[in-house]
Amino acid sequence: SAALRFTIVSQSKSIAAAPQDPYNVLPRLRAMMREQEGVQWVPADSVRAQVGDYLSAQFYQEYEPVSLLQADRPLKLDVVLSYQAVMKRDTLRVWLETKSFPEGILLGATEVRMPKKQPTPQQNQALATALQDLLLQTIEKHQLFGFPFNETDKGLMVFSDSLVDSAYAEQVARSLSHLDLNGEEPVKVYLSESPLESPFCGQALDAAEERGAALVMALDPLAAGSGTPRSLWLTRPDKRRMPVVSWQLPLLPDDADFHCDTAGITEAELPYVNAALFQHLPKSLAFLKESTLLEKGNPMLENHVSLWTAFAVRAGRNLSRMPVDSLIYVTKVYDRLIESVKSPRQKGWLYLNQAALFEQCGRNEEALAAFQRADTLFTSTHALDGAGVSRWRRASLFSRLKNHSSSRREFARAVQAFESIGDSSSMADATYKIAMLYELDQHTEEARAVYLKAALLYDHLHRSYDAAKIYDHLGHIERVQSNSREAMKHFDAYLLAAREMHSEPAMARAYFQIGVTHLHDGQYQQALENLQKAMDLFELLGDSLAMARTDINLGAIKQNLNRPDEAKSHYLAALQIAEAKQDTSISVLCNTNLAELALKTQSWDEVQSRYDRAMTMAELLQNKKEQAAILYAKGLAHLKEGRLKTGYAELKQALAMAGGTLSGDAEKEQEFMRKLEPLIGDIHTIKGSSHEP
């Protein structure tokens, strides 16, 4: 391939004749460039002779595209290397960027830091290495046709006849001057002096996709005695990829009528193109509201549906910055577009985008109705991807409005649409949503069955993370209902998914849950083995709070196996972590467990001091239920110690705090209190027992 032709410019326009260079960066770069292979050097003065001034890094905004193209005829320049040097805290920082000429597409960027104290040869070595990397980055992007646009560029390809004819070149420049190319998203322009073959739509789309251009403008070729050239326009449509649920609305569909305008735009109509595609939205809306665009029968709208669809999509994507009356204007543009297109499927796409717009404005009823219309039109024309999205979005909106049954129905209809287009990933997501809705409505049986269905779909798709999340959740549901065998099945499936993901955090969680389930079941040996595996992994991962939770469960196992000393050291280890990490809820658990251990050995002072610490923590958490439970435990401990009066008072206060009952069995608790009352009464009548506090 031929060598790329480079020139070097300073980052910003200089007031002086030549750019200032106090740190001597330019001569160093120039010398290094001359030694590079595959690079040809174009001196700044040659560029200046053609352009009329020194270039800056912003050259593509400082000159209009046609004049840059003409300056480039003799120069044949490919790339502009710009530099900026700043001395900061005794370090010279040099920023280098490469941009394509004449479009100004950013090709590469780097920064070099050279300490002032560093000897010059080392500074130069650092600069040379950075420059070489930058040139490699730049050369790698080069393709047969030149440089493609970046994702973030708003790339405009302009196809015209040869611009050698100065009158024609002037007309093209005048046409482009109607467009805000330096607006809020600066436009990078690629001029091609070769008219597009027909059919325009197909050729323009191929060109846009090959180059990554957002827009294509094709100008009429030179014709004898003609006025200004008319232009055809194309906006690159969105790719409708699977899974369908990942589509971002509004969407510009790949239907030529929506992205390709072959009616021809005259020069007088270019301000409309500018408002639709280029102008800063507030300005564009101000211009359009003053115009007659929305009046019935206005050919500007009816003959250029693609232009206004592209406008509506652009406005919908920048919604957050628009006042309400502007949003209403855009929904009216959709109304007019819907009237102007003939095909039901096209109306469907417009309703879908309009529905998303209504939804973002909080006009939920209108959004639901528009999604419904889109769905009907798509279904009747077998566009089941569109139908699926309409149902999915409608279901999600019902869900947000807390209308669960309608939401479930729409998600189920979405599943049918996704199934018929073979989009299993979207099917799984919609199925998962249905399960969640069943659970919210406390239809546990249905929720379980549908969760399982979703998990199997995720398994099938190797979406292990999503499957794992469901198995974990199902395990919890079953364990709460004391279905240990079912819970264990789900946690085992969770472990399997965690292994498939090679995820140590998920494996640790799975072993932990399996251990806790065995513990609930009184299978202490299996519980011990699994919790120990979890502990090893948590330690490896440095997850100290998870280690604390595991210690608490290991302590419970040792307590049940009647090994109180081992139990105590587990609880103390957990408490040490909880205090270091300021985790109040774990501290409460550790202290209440240590109090229960102390009860076994009748160490009454320790019992009460542990409960008191737990109580202080529970008060920090503002958890009334927890406070009541601790106070009740304190009272029972005082009864065991024989301090009946204190114990009785604490039990009474705890029940009041819990709103009448702690266990949910108020009868049983009241019965217990009634049995205590005569004992307390007896204490009062026994002489000499006044030391009872």
DSSP-based three-state secondary structure for 46: helix
pLDDT of residue 38: 83
In this structure, what DSSP letter does residue 279 have? S
Q: Which residues contact 582 (CB under 8 A, 6 or more apart)?
A: none
287 touches 271 (CB < 8 A)? yes
Instruction: Order the strands of the 79-88 sheet from edge to edge.
Output: 39-41, 4-10, 79-88, 91-100, 106-115
Instruction: Give the per-residue pLDDT at 34.
Output: 87
Q: Which residues are registered as beta bridge partners of 88?
A: 91
- Residues of the chain within CATH 3.40.50.10070 domain(s) are 4-141
Count of CB atoms situated within 10 Å of the CB of 145? 11
Series of mean pLDDT values for 10-residue runs along the chain (693 residues): 86 63 89 88 91 89 94 95 92 96 97 93 95 94 93 95 92 95 90 90 95 96 75 94 93 92 94 96 95 92 96 91 88 96 96 96 95 98 97 98 98 98 97 97 95 96 94 94 92 93 94 96 96 96 95 96 95 95 92 94 93 92 90 93 91 90 86 86 50 42
Top CATH class, 4-141 = alpha beta
Chain region(s) in the chain for CATH 1.25.40.10: 464-535, 543-622
Reading the block at residue 241, the tokens are: 């990829």
Task: Assign 3-class secondary structure to 634-682.
Answer: HHHHHHHHCCHHHHHHHHHHHHHHCCCCCCCCHHHHHHHHHHHHHHHHH
- Joined together, the tokens standing for residue 451 give 């969760």
The amino acid occupying position 429 is: D
Sign of the CA dihedral with 342 first, then 344, 345, and 348 last? positive
213 DSSP assignment: -
Architecture of domain 464-535 in CATH? Alpha Horseshoe (1.25)
Distance CA 393, CA 243 (A): 14
Give SS3 for 161. coil
pLDDT value at position 13? 66
Both tokens assigned to 627: 């406070």
Eight-state DSSP code of residue 610: H
* pLDDT given for residue 18 in this prediction: 58
Residue 595: how many CA atoms within 13 Å on its side-chain side? 25
CATH 1.25.40.10 for domain 543-622: yes
Q: What pLDDT is recorded for position 690?
A: 39
Q: Do 108 and 80 contact (CB within 8 A), yes or no?
A: no
> What was the pLDDT predicted at 19?
62
Work out whether strand 39-41 and strand 79-88 pair parallel, antiparallel, or are unpaired.
unpaired
